[in-house]
């Protein structure tokens, strides 16, 4: 394991979570149902029939969790706001939902932790699905109104705002393949959903700035895309996947262009790209591993396949561990977008390593330490290569509801016993704290 270089005195060290994955309390204080409530209660959708009804009970235990973050020593905490807590029916405002995030933000500030809020991490109000949900262009206006409400309440204390989280994953898994909520299988038609999310991003940037937000940007998922073999067919398949996965969610924001023109064109209106390409202050990048792609069999509806080659090291989720791919992804963004690329924050990076407490109660998750150390080293290599990266938020602060995989995969620095809700800081927690302390001592 390499020694970590210095990231500088202004580098931000943080952790991330998401509302549906940790909060629980799904029917308290006026919260409406989300698409994930509906999806997780549909038989066969989630491994072991798990739901986020209780999750980590963070809604009731946030003070305990924030105290643990303070012990960890992070500068900032990236959390998401549950839209159905704020507008249970997608329209009406629920004051008790705003009150909860008021309390959370104030508690963070009391502990010297910078609140970094994400407006949307996939838990749409179920009521909006009756009107088509994200297939309906009108949702961009609904989202802008939600952004205004939250921004006016919190932007006096929350300076860093993320608009939407991982539009690509919400599009592909939620609307193209149906693996995630809301469970739609639209194939390439899901790119219309992507367009509406991009519009929602642009409108929410405007709304947040009008409400006084100081720093605004998206949190996108990006990865290095590699052909499984160096042949024309596999290279073409990888190239198309890269357009869909990476550039379709970034070109419109940074360049005001649609990279799939003539391949898959969304229904758009004049002025859409100008709206989507509102200036942003940073780009949040979530990244875990490269993606290998193969050409599909002739005649297949989708011309590429995501594959997992043999001979690599994998985490417990089956994702390959290739730190140098992290460097190449970041330098690739710099090479592609040049001066149009704003400063980057790594908003998610981590791995599923499912170690549990030993007889002494200690969680020895050395594999997570090794993974994170390697990726921090790879991150610094990208900085040395000229990429302007200003912060790192580890995913995740604690174990949580891992979407379609339920509670089977553990990403946290903190172990959660879901039966007792006991929090146990893992070895990686102590290691990450030592990293942050060492960086500040230099």
Burial of 109 (0-12, 13-18, 19+ CB in 10 A): middle
402 carries a ligand binding annotation:
yes
Q: Note the CATH number of domain 12-441.
A: 3.20.20.80
62 carries a ligand binding annotation:
no
Nearest residue to 86 (alpha-carbon basis) of 30, 140, 39, 155: 30
121 carries a ligand binding annotation:
yes
d(CA 52, CA 63): 20
Q: How many CB atoms lie within 10 A of CB 12?
A: 19
Q: Which residues contact 400 (CB under 8 A, 6 or more apart)?
A: 17, 18, 21, 22, 55, 56, 411, 412, 416
Residue 233 annotated as catalytic: no
d(CA 361, CA 324): 34
| Encoded tokens for 392 | 């790192």
User: Which of 94, 129, 166, 355 is the catalytic position?
Assistant: 166
- Reported as a single tens digit per residue, the pLDDT across 97-145 is 999 999 999 999 999 999 999 999 999 999 999 999 999 999 999 999 9
Contact by Cβ (8 Å): 128, 135 = no
Residue 225 DSSP one-character state: E
Residue 296 DSSP one-character state: P
319 carries a ligand binding annotation:
no
| Encoded tokens for 246 | 């990476």
User: Which of 94, 129, 224, 348 is the catalytic position?
Assistant: 348
| Sign of torsion over alpha carbons 252, 286, 72, 371 | negative
- Reported as a single tens digit per residue, the pLDDT across 286-341 is 999 999 999 999 888 889 999 999 999 999 999 999 999 999 999 999 999 999 99
Q: What is the pLDDT of residue 442?
A: 61
Contact by Cβ (8 Å): 165, 219 = yes
Q: What is the pLDDT of residue 339?
A: 96
83 carries a ligand binding annotation:
no
d(CA 411, CA 396): 6
Nearest residue to 398 (alpha-carbon basis) of 17, 78, 12, 107: 17
Residue 348 annotated as catalytic: yes
- Single pTM value for the model: 0.97
d(CA 165, CA 7): 25
Q: Which residues contact 245 (CB under 8 A, 6 or more apart)?
A: 168, 172, 222, 223, 225, 291
Contact by Cβ (8 Å): 112, 74 = no
pLDDT tens-place values along the chain, 442 residues long: 557 889 999 999 999 999 999 999 999 999 999 999 999 999 999 999 999 999 999 999 999 999 999 999 999 999 999 999 999 999 999 999 999 999 999 999 999 999 999 999 999 999 999 999 999 999 999 999 999 999 999 999 999 999 999 999 999 999 999 999 999 999 999 999 999 999 999 999 999 999 999 999 999 999 999 999 999 999 999 999 999 999 999 999 999 999 999 999 999 999 999 999 999 999 999 999 999 999 999 888 889 999 999 999 999 999 999 999 999 999 999 999 999 999 999 999 999 999 999 999 999 999 999 999 999 999 999 999 999 999 999 999 999 999 999 999 999 999 999 999 999 999 999 999 999 999 987 6
395 carries a ligand binding annotation:
yes
Delimit the domains of the chain by residue range.
Answer: 12-441
């Amino acid at each position: 394991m390499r020694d970590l270089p210095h990231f500088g005195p202004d580098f931000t060290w943080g952790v991330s979570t998401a509302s549906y994955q940790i909060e629980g309390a799904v029917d308290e204080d006026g919260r409406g149902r989300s698409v994930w409530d509906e999806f997780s209660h549909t038989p066969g959708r989630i491994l072991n029939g798990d739901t986020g009804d209780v999750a980590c009970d963070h809604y009731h235990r946030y003070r305990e969790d924030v105290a643990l973050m303070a012990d960890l020593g992070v500068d900032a905490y990236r959390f998401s706001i549950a839209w159905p807590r704020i507008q249970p029916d997608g329209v009406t405002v629920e004051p008790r939902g705003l009150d909860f995030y008021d309390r959370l933000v104030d508690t963070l500030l009391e502990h010297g932790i910078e609140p970094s809020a994400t407006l949307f991490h996939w838990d749409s109000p179920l009521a909006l699905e009756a009107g088509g949900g994200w297939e309906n262009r009108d949702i961009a206006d609904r989202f802008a109104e939600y952004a205004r409400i939250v921004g006016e309440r919190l932007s006096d204390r929350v300076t860093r705002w993320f608009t939407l989280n991982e539009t690509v994953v919400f599009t592909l898994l939620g609307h193209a393949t149906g693996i995630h909520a809301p469970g739609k299988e639209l194939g390439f038609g899901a790119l219309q959903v992507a367009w509406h999310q991009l519009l929602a991003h642009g409108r929410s940037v405007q709304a947040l700035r009008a409400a006084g937000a100081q720093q605004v940007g998206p949190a996108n998922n990006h990865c290095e895309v590699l052909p499984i073999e160096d042949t024309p067919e596999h290279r073409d398949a990888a190239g198309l996947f890269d357009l869909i996965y990476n550039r379709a969610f970034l070109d419109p924001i940074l360049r005001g262009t649609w990279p799939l023109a003539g391949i898959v064109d969304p229904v758009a209106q004049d002025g859409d790209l100008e709206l989507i390409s509102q200036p942003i202050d940073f780009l949040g990048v979530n990244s875990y591993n490269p993606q290998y792609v193969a050409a599909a069999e002739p005649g297949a509806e989708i011309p590429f396949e995501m594959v997992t080659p043999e001979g690599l090291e994998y985490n417990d989720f089956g994702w390959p561990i290739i730190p140098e791919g992290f460097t190449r992804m970041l330098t690739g963004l710099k090479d592609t977008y040049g001066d149009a690329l704003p400063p980057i924050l790594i908003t998610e990076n981590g791995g599923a390593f499912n170690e549990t407490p030993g007889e002494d109660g200690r969680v020895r998750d050395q594999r997570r330490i090794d993974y994170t150390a390697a990726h921090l080293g790879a991150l610094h290599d990208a900085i040395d290569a000229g990429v302007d990266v200003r912060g790192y938020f580890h995913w995740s602060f604690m174990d949580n509801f891992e979407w379609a995989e339920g509670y089977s995969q553990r990403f946290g620095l903190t172990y959660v016993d879901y039966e007792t809700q006991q929090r146990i800081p893992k070895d990686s927690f102590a290691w990450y704290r030592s990293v942050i302390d060492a960086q500040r001592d230099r």
